[in-house]
Structure 1
Amino acid sequence: MKNSLDDKEEGYRLEKDIIGELNVSRNAYYGIQSLRAKENFNITGLKMHPEIIKNLVYIKKAAAITNFEAGLLDETIAMAIVQACDELLKGKLLEYFIVDPIQGGAGTSLNMNANEVIANRAIEILGGEKGDYSLINPNDHVNCGQSTNDVIPTAGKMTCFVLTKKALKQLGRLYKAFEEKAKEFDHVIKMGRTQLQDAVPIRLGQEFHAYATAVRRDMIRIEKALEEIRYVNLGGTAIGTGINADEQYMKRIVPKLKELSGIDVIQASDLFDATQSLDSFVAVSGTVKACAVTLSKIASDLRLMSSGPRTGFGEINLPARQNGSSIMPGKVNPVIPEVVNQVAFHIIGNDLTITLAAEAGQLELNAFEPIVFYSLFQSIDTLTYAVQTFVDHCITGITANEERCRQLVENSVGVITALCPHIGYRDSAEIAKEAIRTGRPVRELIIKKGILSPADVNLVLDPMNMTKPGIAKKKLLRK
């Protein structure tokens, strides 16, 4: 049969496996098992995440060196594998990773794709022709001392760790951006709202400081979950027993992987648990989801506060990024907060997928790691890019409509709350009802009725005073 990648006029080589035979393009670095997986799993039409490929290669390189040191691989074979891995780590031959991210077999197809590409390049390095597995075999040499069941979870955890660190970097930028806006807007008084109804005044800076606090809390939660991801089952092979792995290899493989990759991985104390359980991925996904919920709430707040420009809240201005309508001239929409909302919706859905897949594992292995990785990497990546976009194209450019904020406070009935300690809840409620009925400001009604002196009214209803405790301690006398 023909294959579309590298098949031009170069011809084919015949490869065999336990299923049968297939013609593989002579120039292809993948082999029969990768090709079968490509045929079987045409699911997303997407390529494997490049970061997990990179980490798989680190594992194969670490395994080759460790197996050589343990006396299980000939030096010539080991060094050819290492050289092939180094080329892949520089970005070469990545187009030959052809398996779909979503696949059956607990990731065996991805593992064999890596084994075959590395083996065939190493064969070339030794002067042989691709497909001559008598020189270097994908299973016996590249996969020596390993199983899909310890390689794939380890690569997944390494990838999760790296991608999440990038997300944390962007979240740190968002935290700082909110803190800067909190200082910039600290003098701006606006109306606070609960359940979309007037509540009591708040400083716009206090609102943005609260956003910064929420983001920082999410960062701490994510960092804590990442601690679990560092514990890998590499060395446990099929189910945690370490079958077919040399004792010296088992002791050395994870430290060697840490040395090569720079990722602070630790071999799990219980390799059986680390092989069969995916709860650490659920934990990370949960923190990413919680962060997405936080960001979506903030994005919705910004859309509300910027609504208008004439008939909405109109308290802040978001940077104008693009035309908002194909029919309404001059309309500008809050497109950046909107995209943050959508990313959050997607992450929430991915979290459910990850939860169900982790729960569905049976006995010594969970077969559903591919969908966990596909969903989790997608969630972390989209969170990272959404936060970067949020900072660069929205938060840093927000401005306040100070006069509009002041007018809304002055005309709000919510300021009556500040009078409760001085004239009582019942009388305050009656004044509030009259203000709503007549449309007259609370300040005007209090002074007209002679309930408090103008000076005391000005003191109690000073907007800045209402954004902090203290004034209620001073008991004012009714006239």
Structure 2
Amino acid sequence: MMIRIERDKTGPVEVPSHAYYGVQTMRAAGQYPKVNAPVHGQFIKALACVKSAAVRAGIDQEIVPGRIGNLIMKAADEIKEGKHSEQFIAGYIHGSSSHLLNVNLNEVLANRALELMLEDKGNYDLIDPDLHVNGPHSADWILSTSLNVAAHQLTHKLVSATEGLKYRLWMAKERLEGQRQGNSTDPVMNVPARLTRTFGESAKQLQLDAARLAEAASRFKRIRIDSARDAVMPQANRELTERTVSYLRHMTRIEFFAASRWDASSGSKSVYADLSSVLKTLAVNLFKLCSDIRNAASLKGSATSPESRRFHESAGFLHQICVLVIGYDHIISLAEEAGIPDEETVPPIIFYHVLESLDIMMKGIDSFAGSLTQEQDDADPAGIRR
């Protein structure tokens, strides 16, 4: 393997020549044991989005030269598109915080920008990962803001998935009731009458759960400015942060706003734990629905068709995901009780499990809703055309 030599204050480090990460990432990653827990892809994209907004604000404030800043933003756009994912070698649980992840991204953006300039990777005299990419922002601010972006985006995707499942359950209930009233011999899913009622009850509950999720997501729009109760950022840094949030609002089309951490709207210290609690409630409600479906499948004469088996298997898949989400909420609650979060940082153990809960719940609901829709289409092919 070809290598290049990069140096920091501690000395030289061998870095793979193809790598966009650099000396600080290599040195820091070597200090911690390997944990097979990669950082969530949505978080990496959100992190790149925040970096791009910060660099654009830095250009306005003449902290970052225009040409360099534009190339860094171009590199960030590539990461937002899902490129260079293999360049993030920091696991989510490295160290007591995830500053390593911030360093990793700084170096990836700097080296990719250098490559776009047809310069050698590691030429940090030209593009400095700390000065040009990170700027005066603290790693804690970058990471917590990125988590706000990722959590808001994933929560709204989950809201859409939840509302879609609500609609499909309600339509299935109406269809089954109509068939029974008409003495049809062609049931959609071979389900007993009590399960049909469960579909309706679950649809109503999902409507409430979707509303709670949307309300929890709205709290992520608030981006803090102050780093401590008794310390006010220098005015230039405050203006830079406000400008960064403004660009972030434009880029994401989410109404983020900058505010002091200690203003009256701050609410609970941990919006992430609150969101996890809402996710647990959703998981418990879906767990009951899946249990009823699986119990119905065990009845004699039920679930005999391939379509019905697929539906019940999908319910079993969602059933297990609900157990995972409930378990993740327990982990987050333990972290809260142990006092792991402080006033400025969100520890990796919390942000990893919040994002993972959102992601797997969305996938589970989409899979289950898809099997439910397929059941209806298989029973009534004309429904596809309609």
TM-score by length of 2: 0.84
Matched-pair contact (CA < 8 Å) for 1:30–1:97: yes
**Where does residue 381 of structure 2 map in the other structure?**
none
Amino acid at match of 1:342: Q
Q: Give aligned pairs, total.
A: 364
Shift of 1:288: 0.9
Shift of 1:300: 0.5
**Where does residue 108 of structure 2 map in the other structure?**
117
The 3-state SS of whatever aligns with 2:177 is coil
Matched-pair contact (CA < 8 Å) for 2:226–2:260: no
The partner residue of 2:214 within 223, 226, 234 is 223
Q: How does 1:35-46 map to 2 (within 5 A)?
A: 35-46=26-37
The 3-state SS of whatever aligns with 2:352 is helix
Matched-pair contact (CA < 8 Å) for 2:3–2:14: no
2:372 maps to 1:381: no
Higher mean alpha-carbon deviation, 240-249 vs 381-390, is at 240-249
Amino acid at match of 1:340: L
2:10 maps to 1:22: no
The partner residue of 2:349 within 367, 371, 391 is 371
**Where does residue 176 of structure 2 map in the other structure?**
185
The 3-state SS of whatever aligns with 1:242 is coil
The partner residue of 1:208 within 191, 199, 208 is 199
**Where does residue 60 of structure 2 map in the other structure?**
69
Residues 1:358 and 1:245: Cα distance change in structure 2 (over 3 Å): farther
Shift of 1:38: 3.1
Distance 1:242 1:111 in 2: 21
Residues 1:121 and 1:245: Cα distance change in structure 2 (over 3 Å): farther
Residues 1:303 and 1:123: Cα distance change in structure 2 (over 3 Å): same
**Where does residue 330 of structure 1 map in the other structure?**
none
User: Where does the alignment leave 5 or more consecutive residues of structure 2 unmatched?
Assistant: 182-191, 378-386
Q: How does 1:42-61 map to 2 (within 5 A)?
A: 42-61=33-52
The partner residue of 1:82 within 66, 73, 89 is 73
The partner residue of 1:13 within 5, 17, 40 is 5
Matched-pair contact (CA < 8 Å) for 1:354–1:375: yes
Shift of 1:243: 5.4
2:158 maps to 1:167: yes
**Where does residue 130 of structure 2 map in the other structure?**
139
Shift of 1:186: 2.5
Larger relative contact order, structure 1 or 2 (CA cutoff 8 Å, min sep 6): 2
The partner residue of 1:299 within 282, 290, 303 is 290
Shift of 1:396: 5.4
CA RMSD of aligned residues (A): 3.0
Distance 1:208 1:75 in 2: 57
Distance 2:314 2:247 in 1: 43
Matched-pair contact (CA < 8 Å) for 2:340–2:347: no
Distance 1:80 1:68 in 2: 12
The partner residue of 1:343 within 313, 321, 327 is 321
Matched-pair contact (CA < 8 Å) for 2:5–2:12: no
Matched-pair contact (CA < 8 Å) for 1:232–1:265: yes
User: Where does the alignment leave 5 or more consecutive residues of structure 1 unmatched?
Assistant: 1-7, 190-200, 323-332, 400-479
Shift of 1:180: 0.6
The 3-state SS of whatever aligns with 1:232 is strand
Matched-pair contact (CA < 8 Å) for 1:41–1:99: no
**Where does residue 393 of structure 1 map in the other structure?**
371
Higher mean alpha-carbon deviation, 265-274 vs 40-49, is at 265-274
Amino acid at match of 2:365: V
TM-score by length of 1: 0.69
Matched-pair contact (CA < 8 Å) for 1:43–1:102: no
Residues 1:232 and 1:123: Cα distance change in structure 2 (over 3 Å): same
Distance 1:204 1:54 in 2: 41
Residues 1:232 and 1:40: Cα distance change in structure 2 (over 3 Å): same
**Where does residue 4 of structure 1 map in the other structure?**
none
Matched-pair contact (CA < 8 Å) for 1:145–1:245: no
Distance 2:7 2:235 in 1: 25
Amino acid at match of 1:381: D
Shift of 1:393: 1.9
Amino acid at match of 1:355: S
2:357 maps to 1:357: no
2:252 maps to 1:252: no
Shift of 1:26: 2.3
Matched-pair contact (CA < 8 Å) for 1:54–1:89: yes
Matched-pair contact (CA < 8 Å) for 1:186–1:206: no
Higher mean alpha-carbon deviation, 75-84 vs 371-380, is at 75-84
The partner residue of 1:280 within 232, 251, 271 is 271
Shift of 1:276: 12
Distance 1:152 1:371 in 2: 13
Residues 1:358 and 1:318: Cα distance change in structure 2 (over 3 Å): farther
**Where does residue 319 of structure 1 map in the other structure?**
307
Amino acid at match of 1:121: R
Residues 1:133 and 1:275: Cα distance change in structure 2 (over 3 Å): farther
Matched-pair contact (CA < 8 Å) for 1:62–1:256: yes
Distance 2:114 2:227 in 1: 25
Distance 2:336 2:195 in 1: 42
Matched-pair contact (CA < 8 Å) for 1:277–1:361: no
Distance 1:379 1:161 in 2: 13
